Amino acid sequence: METKSGGSRPRRNSFGTATPKFHEAITFQADGRLKESEDCCADALRLLTGEEKHSLEAVSVRNTLASIRLDRGKFHQARQDARRALEIAASLGEPGADTGLDRLRLTALCLIGRSHLQAGELDAARPLLERALTMAHYWLPAPAEEKLKILTLLGATAKEAGHRHEAEEYYRKALAIAEQLYDPYHGEVASLCHRLALLSEGWDEADHLEPFARRAYEIRSILFGTTSPMAAGAQAGIALAMEAQGQLKEAGEKFLHSLSIFDRHYAGEQCELSIRVELLRDYALCRRAAAGYLISSGRHTDAREFSNRAQRLFERILGKSHPLVAKWRKDHDAIRRATPLFALKGRQVSAWDWWRGFSFSR
């Protein structure tokens, strides 16, 4: 970057001092290099001058930084970034006066809501997201990307609260918008189909969700390859739909295959640069489900080994005190204590029934 003679401060150009770093951060984010993306975005924020710190550029940078940190599981830091972005947006104009500013405002609201959702604070997340959806209906055209994001987060909130039918309705609305905005093989379409597939968990009436699971797998296999973690997560969605229909052996084999892909991909120490929390959730699901299948097959050592390996990775990436890691540790402890046959409330149950009775902690 060009500098003034006799000093180290970068010279401003027509695009602002932070723009090159900001674009670099977005490129890294698109490539899945989240740690490098976060570093670049934080540098871009520091490069903003006094007047730029209260501009649309500052709102965009802070929103992007919050998004990256949420992908990495840093929801407290992300919430601070998004709240500051919302404060700056409020100082720049009234709601409804500028569509570009309104989009940034809605993005910040979504990020705050998502941070509460990621922390398990559903009562705090839902009102924010419902308020954002009302604003989006007034300010934006019908097929807007911001509406898609809000509906997706509302669906996730409803799912976590145990309202399966409501979650499905939100996801279907979001998918309808995605199909208008993107081509049929876009990653966002696959993501929403995958979310619909995950509603199959523990739902005996989930046979209507299997086509979504298979569509998600088809798209992700084309976009990322059949041996990618994205495809492995989608395959787990198919397995959930099959398990809900009583196809237990076939489902167990698919869970085990997905787990092997996750284990192979995340074996390296540098894998944390590209891990997103959503993929870790899929990994945790496969770890739990595959362990149940292995236990039912008498392969107890393999079940413990896979569970140990996954738990160590979760703790390394998110930290031992992260709420999701704490939930997954309970799953891990249950797997280690599992035996082929044991008493439950005065009756004997198989390890397979033990597995089916669990939530996958998503």
DSSP string covering 84-143, please?
A: HHHHHHHHH--TTS-HHHHHHHHHHHHHHHHHHHHTT-HHHHHHHHHHHHHHHHHHS-SS
pLDDT tens for each residue of 104-158: 999 999 999 999 998 889 999 999 999 999 999 888 887 889 999 999 999 999 9
Identify the top-confidence range among 36-45, 177-186, 245-254: 177-186
CB-based contact 314:328 (threshold 8 Å): yes
Contacts of 58 (CB under 8 A, 6+ apart): 45, 48, 52, 85, 88
- Of 30, 26, 112, the C-alpha closest to 64 is 26
Average model confidence (pLDDT) across the chain: 84
The pLDDT, as a whole number, for residue 1 is 36
- 71 pLDDT higher than 50: yes
- Angle (CA) 28 56 30, round 5°: 15
Q: How confident is the model at residue 349 (pLDDT cuts 50, 70, 90)?
A: very low
Confidence of residue 48 (pLDDT cuts 50, 70, 90): confident
Cα–Cα distance measured from residue 48 to residue 43, given in angstroms and rounded to the nearest whole number = 9
Q: Is 218 helix (H, G, I), strand (E, B) or coil?
A: helix
- For 255-290, the pLDDT digits (tens) are 999 999 998 888 765 555 567 888 899 999 999 999
Q: Does residue 357 or residue 29 have the better pLDDT?
A: 29
pLDDT at 358: 47
Q: Among 23-37, 234-248, 318-332, where is mean pLDDT lowest?
A: 23-37
Confidence tier at 96 by pLDDT (50, 70, 90): confident
Q: What angle do CA 267, 273, 276 make, to 5 degrees?
A: 90
Please give the residue that has the higher pLDDT: either 97 or 199: 199
The pLDDT score that the predictor gives to residue 348 is 45
Q: What is the pLDDT of residue 272?
A: 58
Give 274-330 pLDDT, tens digit per residue: 678 888 999 999 999 999 888 888 888 888 888 988 998 888 888 888 888 998 999
Amino acid at 118: Q
Q: What residues have CB less than 8 Å from 34, skipping those under 6 apart?
A: 28, 68, 71, 72, 273, 274, 275, 276
Q: What is the pLDDT, as a whole number, of residue 227? A: 92
Q: Which residue ranges form the domains of the chain, and what is each CATH number?
A: 12-141 (1.25.40.10)
Residue 221 predicted with pLDDT over 90: yes
Q: How far apart are CA 71 and CA 104, in angstroms?
A: 19
Q: CA separation (Å) from 264 to 96, 193, 267, 283, 306?
A: 49, 25, 5, 12, 11
Residues 6+ apart with CB under 8 A from 285: 198, 236, 240, 360, 361, 362
Token pair for 62: 């802070």
Higher pLDDT, 138 or 171: 171
Output the CA–CA distances (angstroms, integers) from residue 49 to 52, 53, 109, 359, in the order listed.
5, 6, 25, 49
Crossing angle for the helix pair 145-160 and 164-181, nearest 10 degrees? Answer: 160
* pLDDT of amino acid 53: 87
